[in-house]
Amino acid sequence: MYALRRWWDRNGLRLGMVSLALIVAWAIRETQGAAVLELYRGLNRPFVGDVPPEQQIENTRILELEQRLVELESQNRQLQELLGYVDTNPSEGVVAPVIGRSADHWWQQVILGRGSRDGIQVGFIVSGNGGIVGRITHVTPNTSRVLLISDPTSQVGVTISRSRFMGYIRGQSANRVVMEFFDKVPDVQPGDVVSTSSYSQLFPPGLPVGIVESVNLNKSPAPEAVVELSVPISSLEWVMVSPNPKMGESSEAVEQGAIDSAGN
């Protein structure tokens, strides 16, 4: 009897805790956690108040509508900026949404939600609010594919608007491109505006491209400048597609030939 009492004194509390835990676990299982949920609601009620389920649903709906309103306001602002650009640059163009973009070709191409039914043709110019974006390379009745100027394979003849020194840009898979000059000592400095030049056979001259960000005159074999594009290629949602006055005479081979001959 004495030994049993000593064992109880030593292990009774532990045995009681284990039994209580088993009872609680069994109760949770049998009630599918209802007791715990009610306990949580009771403890949480002083902090959140007693909100009926109908009000909770209404609050969730209001929050969803507020978030949708923010998104619509953002889209409306972008469209207004694009339409403002169209008003200051009148042309026979089509406003088109960007509906497709592959992660593997993020900086190379985009798909537009307008096609030949809207009058779009291969070779048309694609621009955004502030400058060129690329050109149409493939058209279906309802969609168009755009080769972006940020594509590393894309080369466009350009000029420094202030000093008229010329060269060409090549994409860097980013919102910046590299301009390589034909002259060994070009007059260029950060902040200069870069536009398409008369040497470009794919784009008419005078279209804004971007702003010179930095210059490396010691680059071999020719001086280079990093140009920040006027249009943020990484976040395109809407663009303007316009006829290209040089369509009849341009091809990629002609463009490369013009660049090579100018360089020589």
pLDDT at 154: 87
Residue 87 is assigned to a structural domain of this protein? no
pLDDT at 104: 83
pLDDT at 251: 45
Band (141; pLDDT cuts 50, 70, 90): very high
Residue 217 is assigned to a structural domain of this protein? yes
Residues 28 and 118 in one domain: no
Range of the domain at 164: 94-264
Residues 21 and 150 in one domain: no
Cis peptide before 221 (omega within 30 of 0): yes
Residue 20 is assigned to a structural domain of this protein? yes
More confident residue, 25 or 259: 25
Total tally of structural domains belonging to the chain: 2
> Tens digits of per-residue pLDDT, 1-47?
666 666 566 666 676 676 766 666 666 566 555 555 566 566 555 55
Residues 45 and 100 in one domain: no
> Tens digits of per-residue pLDDT, 176-235?
999 999 999 999 999 999 999 888 888 988 889 999 999 999 888 889 999 999 888 988
Residues 44 and 114 in one domain: no
CA distance linking residue 162 with residue 223, whole number of Å: 17
Residue 164 is assigned to a structural domain of this protein? yes
Residue 154 is assigned to a structural domain of this protein? yes
pLDDT at 192: 93
Q: Among residues of the chain, what percentage have pLDDT more than 90?
A: 37
Residues 129 and 253 in one domain: yes
Q: Provide the whole-model pTM.
A: 0.62
For the chain, give the DSSP string: -HHHHHHHHHHHHHHHHHHHHHHHHHHHHHHTTHHHHHHHHHHHHHHH----HHHHHHHHHHHHHHHHHHHHHHHHHHHHHHHHHHHHS--S-EEEEEEE--GGGTTTEEEES--GGGT--TT-EEEETTEEEEEEEEE-SS-EEEEETTSTT-EEEEEETTT--EEEEEE-SSSEEEEEESSSS----TT-EEEE-TT-SSS-TT-EEEEEEEEETT-SSS-EEEEEESS-GGG--EEEEE--TTGGG--HHHHHHHHHHHH-
What is the arithmetic mean of pLDDT over 141-160?
A: 93
pLDDT at 116: 94
More confident residue, 123 or 92: 123
Residues 106 and 205 in one domain: yes
